[in-house]
A and B are shown apart, each in its own frame.
Chain A
Amino acid sequence: QQQVKQSPQSLIVQKGGISIINCAYENTAFDYFPWYQQFPGKGPALLIAIRPDVSEKKEGRFTISFNKSAKQFSLHIMDSQPGDSATYFCAASTRDYKLSFGAGTTVTVRA
């Protein structure tokens, strides 16, 4: 059973546009929600993470929005650049450190 559902599977955005990726979860025991970025030929790397005690976290052009009541969280990439073209994974974990990942979103930024 997939614990974290991610959408869309892929998206194309123009340079300078906004990319939005959504994730939903069911397990209310999740208390850590990271986003990982993966380039071809590389392993995933932590991009940004949030805990459920805040509704938003921003790091540069990347923002996580978190809606605890709806059990949803999303990644916004502002002013998207060609270098942002990658696959993005949302994830969630409880305090046992085991991450449950979404299926991934392939983002393509067109120049």
Chain B
Amino acid sequence: ETGVTQTPRHLVMGMTNKKSLKCEQHLGHNAMYWYKQSAKKPLELMFVYNFKEQTENNSVPSRFSPECPNSSHLFLHLHTLQPEDSALYLCASSQEGGGGALEQFFGPGTRLTVL
């Protein structure tokens, strides 16, 4: 295991539902990320949190709302999603420091299906 856990692993929701994805990292890292992975497409960076502060929002629709209560936990709140939002949502963490990018550790992802 990578030290990054995600729940639930699978989620099916209707377009009018509200649900949340949870990510927890046990690595003592100071940065956490949400990515969207669709088939045959590059991983899309959605949000970045550094020391609990959001430092990146990659033009993500407002129906996705992230929350980072502390450096170990990250949530992605979902509401009124569209079928095209169906994808694998990956959480990652890293220890950021001087000198450039460091390794990101990924969780196993949540497979989301929007009906």
- Given contacts A101-B42, A104-B40, whether A43 and B2 have CB atoms under 8 Å apart is yes
Q: Residue of A at shortest CB range from B94?
A: A97
Q: Mark A residues whose CB is within 8 Å of B.
A: 2, 4, 6, 9, 31-32, 34, 36, 41-46, 49, 51, 89, 93-104
CB pair B2 A45 closer than 8 Å: yes
Q: Residue of B at shortest CB range from A43?
A: B106
CB pair B42 A4 closer than 8 Å: yes
Q: Mark B residues whose CB is within 8 Å of A.
A: 2, 4, 31, 40-43, 45, 48, 56, 90, 92, 94, 96, 100-109
CB pair A34 B103 closer than 8 Å: yes
Q: Residue of A at shortest CB range from B42?
A: A101
Residue in A32, A36, A44, A104 whose beta carbon sits within 8 Å of that of B101 in the complex? A32
Q: Which A residues are CB-close (under 8 A) to B106?
A: 36, 43-45
With the chains together, A101 CA to B48 CA distance in Å?
15
Given contacts A44-B90, A97-B96, 12 further A-B contacts (CB under 8 A): A31-B100, A42-B108, A43-B90, A43-B106, A45-B2, A45-B106, A46-B104, A46-B105, A94-B101, A95-B100, A97-B94, A103-B42
Q: Which B residues are CB-close (under 8 A) to A43?
A: 2, 4, 90, 92, 106-109
Q: Residue of A at shortest CB range from B9?
A: A41
Closest CB-CB distance, A64 to chain B, in whole Å? 15
Q: Residue of B at shortest CB range from A36?
A: B106
CB pair B104 A99 closer than 8 Å: yes
CB pair A97 B31 closer than 8 Å: yes
Closest CB-CB distance, A46 to chain B, in whole Å? 5
CB pair A98 B45 closer than 8 Å: yes
CB pair A2 B42 closer than 8 Å: yes
